[in-house]
Amino acid sequence: MNKIVLLNIQELLQVRQMPTQPLRGEEFTKLPKITNAYLVLCDNEVERFGEMSELNPDVLRDSEVIDATGRLVFPAFCDSHTHAVFASPRESELVDKIKGLSYQEIAASGGGILNSAKKVQQMSEEDLFLQSLEKVEQIIQGGTGALEIKSGYGLTLKDELKMLRVISRLKAHVDIPIKATFLAAHAIPAEFERDKEAFMDEVVHRWIPKVLEEGLADYVDLFCETGYFDAGDVQAVAQAIQGTPLKLKVHVNQFTAIQGIEAAVKNKAITVDHLEVLDHQDLVALKLGETIATVLPACSFYLNIPFSPVKELIKEGIPISLASDFNPGSSPSSNMFFVWSLACIKMKLTPEQALNALTVNSAFAMGLEATHGALFKGYRGKIIVTNKVPSLAYLPYAFGTNHIHQILN
């Protein structure tokens, strides 16, 4: 039996019973914690925790003891929205942006998603896997303990399957859970340029059935946006997965509100992601449904677009999760501490609310709430031990700083 005991923890955060529902309203603002705490891990599983004053000294026998004086300890982040499998970065687009081009203009001039797709199409599955494995290992070192990865840079059935197989192999190679999302309709491929309907027909009648047959995905996603796909396409994809194990996620309201949220909520989407623009109708739909709003502040930061108006979502009692959107075109960083900083500095979430959105609610956003996102007896996920810091608020405050001292498990 391998026993680890952490002593004198300045604050042990996110300790709660396994939550049964995403946090919203008043609950979302509260972060349960124990000051001056101990934590016992037995064979990588949380066995117990409490105040130092209640520690039974017998626990220390035959244990590895870690003195956590001045440190904060909390469950690893859950990153429920990434495009971490891609062939090459697109740093030249940063220079285009500096020269004044917009995301849409860059895409129209040969950059964007179609450019990433060309690179994935040209790369062998083995190379794509090896490169992605390195990325995922870095993501884990950054404090992420559960990860969702989307396809969507294949844009042919063959290359989408290649991406999904890479994600499957990643699942088997790392010690954190990975959820695979088939991003079926991410952009209209060049060969369907003037016929989006024919492409959607292909996705709905050939691609989704094939992905289902091969059991390669947990979720299906699409990019509901002006110039890409619309609310009718959300409906068509939802219909195609009805009665199957696949669940719906939707990229929506990044630049424009085109009734995609309503269609997603109506079709019981697990999450709607982006939400940089929101109209009244969107808020009403979210309020009446069960869908989680996943917001992506690193994308707003990099593209210089508005940050999602999360205050309005909170006011309406809509559950919020935070994710990195790590991808080469709109969020080239997987750093969840930076997402935390942006959530506080730019979106005005409190440090406590933001941590709830980065852990508990993001675990719900990927169906991992029974095992990840909060420290409860039996938790087996990764645990972050920070550098010595004065208080919780220091973590989002000192943005761009490495705060990790150690990752346990």
Which residues are at the interface with Fe ion (CB under 5 A)?
325
> Distance between CA atoms of 84 and 150, rounded to whole angstroms?
7
Q: Considering beta carbons, is residue 329 or 381 the nearer one to ligand NIG?
A: 329
Binding partner at 55 among ligand NIG, Fe ion, none, C-beta below 5 to 8 Å by kind: none
Q: Considering beta carbons, is residue 272 or 360 the nearer one to Fe ion?
A: 272
We find the least distance from the C-beta atom of residue 223 to Fe ion, in angstroms, to be: 8
We find the least distance from the C-beta atom of residue 183 to ligand NIG, in angstroms, to be: 8
Q: Considering beta carbons, is residue 325 or 352 the nearer one to Fe ion?
A: 325
- Give me the numbers of helices (H) and strands (E) for the chain, helices first please: 17, 15
Q: Report in angstroms the alpha-carbon separations of 287 from 43, 158, 297, 392, 402.
A: 42, 39, 22, 30, 37
Binding partner at 308 among Fe ion, ligand NIG, none, C-beta below 5 to 8 Å by kind: none
We find the least distance from the C-beta atom of residue 349 to Fe ion, in angstroms, to be: 20
3-state secondary structure of 78: strand
Q: Considering beta carbons, is residue 34 or 117 the nearer one to ligand NIG?
A: 117
- Residues interacting with ligand NIG, by CB under 6 A? 112-113, 116, 223, 251, 254, 299, 325, 327-330
> Distance between CA atoms of 180 and 171, rounded to whole angstroms?
9
Contact in structure between 343 and 357 (CB atoms under 8 Å): yes
In the beta sheet, which residues pair with residue 72? Answer: 11
We find the least distance from the C-beta atom of residue 323 to Fe ion, in angstroms, to be: 8
Q: Considering beta carbons, is residue 176 or 299 the nearer one to ligand NIG?
A: 299
We find the least distance from the C-beta atom of residue 110 to ligand NIG, in angstroms, to be: 13
> Distance between CA atoms of 295 and 298, rounded to whole angstroms?
9
Q: Considering beta carbons, is residue 330 or 386 the nearer one to ligand NIG?
A: 330
Find the helix or strand (DSSP H, E) in which 227 lies.
Answer: none
Residues 6+ apart with CB under 8 A from 167: 85, 132, 149, 151, 178, 180, 216
Residue at shortest CB range from ligand NIG: 329
We find the least distance from the C-beta atom of residue 264 to ligand NIG, in angstroms, to be: 15
Binding partner at 223 among ligand NIG, Fe ion, none, C-beta below 5 to 8 Å by kind: ligand NIG
Q: What is the DSSP letter of 69?
A: B
Residue 164, φ and ψ in degrees, nearest 5: -65, -35
